[in-house]
Amino acid sequence: MQIQELVDLKPFNTMAVAAKARYFTTIKTQTDVQEALAWATEHGVKPFVLGGGANLLITTEVLDRLVMRMAIEGLEVVGETDEVTYVKVGAGEDWHATVDRLITMGYAGLENLALIPGTVGASVVQNIGAYGTEVAQRVQEIEVFNPATDEVEAMRAQECDFAYRHSIFKDATHADLVVLSVTFALPKVWTPNLSYKELANQVEGLETVTARDVFEAVVAVRSRKLPDPKVLGSAGSFFKNPVVDHDQFLALLEKFPSIVHYDVGGGHQKLAAGWMIDQAGLKGHREGDAGTYEKQALVLVNHGEATGAELWRYAQMVKATVNAKFGVVLEPEPVIL
């Protein structure tokens, strides 16, 4: 294991923020994880596990951590039942490439999540979701390294407290667990999930819809609406879609009859934060190099040289503007460091 100092993190975060890591190491094996954590303890530095850096905003110039860039590889079929095939994938594998590879191998089930930037490990931490599917629906087991016991432990999906863009790995009490691999349960009998209208429109006219068709449809829809992080820095949706109770919803509906909302049960409604930011006049707005994307107001973008602090200030402005207009408090979706 090699520890580097003052490493530029710009290539390692999709927001393209030019922060530096005080210490940096690449993790290829479980032994690397153990050695890196031991090094961090010995030197009194907090570790930070970095996946694809696709859901991250670094607000300081120097991140005073040991950044452990997760690069554990591997993809293998590890079992099956009559209903599903189990495929175990290393935490450092690229998410989109994994979805693509699995479909080529004949394993469908993750196609709605195509083109999401990031790694397989981060997919479960964040419980990524798009077009009516969340990764949690396909997770069988997650292998984690637990520094408290110094052992590798297997966690079942039911133990991971999965919810909208949330898992147990985001809780302070479990944040020190390091995800090593994810085992997916992929259905042998597959039906497309075309509940999202734009996706259904995209495959209209096809006689039979394959997982590859859905994959390509998702890529087309996402490419139309979301920036390619290689071209324009972003972390996908910057805020979560907020959930409000029935009374607040009725009051909002009266004032804003066209407010975009989804019933999430229990009398609660989820509101489209992108719609609210757009209505507040901030779609495509820009202050210096920090701004909101011209085609999707929920996405904060770095037009080039915005610092993390500038992007964070911009986000606070968006949050305050939406709160002033709608009385709704937006919460950031990415990890803020």
If one asks whether residue 240 binds ligand EPU (CB under 6 A), the answer comes out as yes
274 binds ligand EPU (CB under 6 A): yes
The two beta strands, 62-70 and 46-50, are: parallel
Among 18, 220, 272, 328, binds ligand EPU (CB under 6 A): 272
Each residue 116-155 as x (binds ligand EPU by CB under 6 A) or -, in order, gives --------------xx------------------------
Binder of ligand EPU out of 115, 180, 333, 335 (CB under 6 A)? 333
Cα distances from 254 to residues 133, 299, 326, in angstroms, run 31, 27, 12
Establish if 275 lies at the interface with ligand EPU (CB under 6 A).
yes
CA distances from 64 to 34, 138, 155, 173, 179 (A): 20, 35, 30, 21, 22
Residue 86 or 196: the one with the smaller Cβ distance to ligand EPU is: 196
237 is catalytic: yes
Rg (CA), the chain: 20
Q: Which is nearer to ligand EPU, 45 or 260 (CB)?
A: 260
Residue 242 interacts with ligand EPU (CB under 6 A): yes or no: no
Q: Does 294 bind ligand EPU (CB under 6 A)?
A: no
Q: Residue 265 corresponds to which tokens in the numbers above?
A: 């049960």
Catalytic-role residue among 65, 69, 138, 165 = 165
Containing 302, the helix (H) or strand (E) segment is: strand 299-302
- Which residue, 270, 241, 123, is CA-closest to 184? 123
Asked if 215 interacts with ligand EPU (CB under 6 A), we say no
Looking at beta carbons only, is 135 or 298 nearer to ligand EPU?
298
Q: Does 237 bind ligand EPU (CB under 6 A)?
A: yes
* Under rule CB under 6 A, residue 319 binds ligand EPU: no
235-253 as b/e: b if 16+ CB within 10 A: bbbbbbbbbbeeebbeebe
Write down the catalytic residue from 93, 134, 143, 333: 333
The Cβ-side half-sphere exposure at 81, using a 13 Å CA radius, reads 7
Give the single-character DSSP code of 91. T
Which C-beta is closer to ligand EPU: that of 184 or that of 275? 275
* Active-site annotation holds for 165: yes
Q: Contact 9/52 with Cβ under 8 angstroms?
A: no
Told to check if 283 binds ligand EPU by CB under 6 A, we report: yes
Contact 307, 290 (CB under 8 A): no
Residue closer to ligand EPU by CB (options 66, 290) is 290
Binding site for ligand EPU (CB under 6 A): 130-131, 196, 225-226, 236-237, 240-241, 260, 272, 274-275, 278, 283, 296-298, 333
Catalytic residues: 165, 237, 333
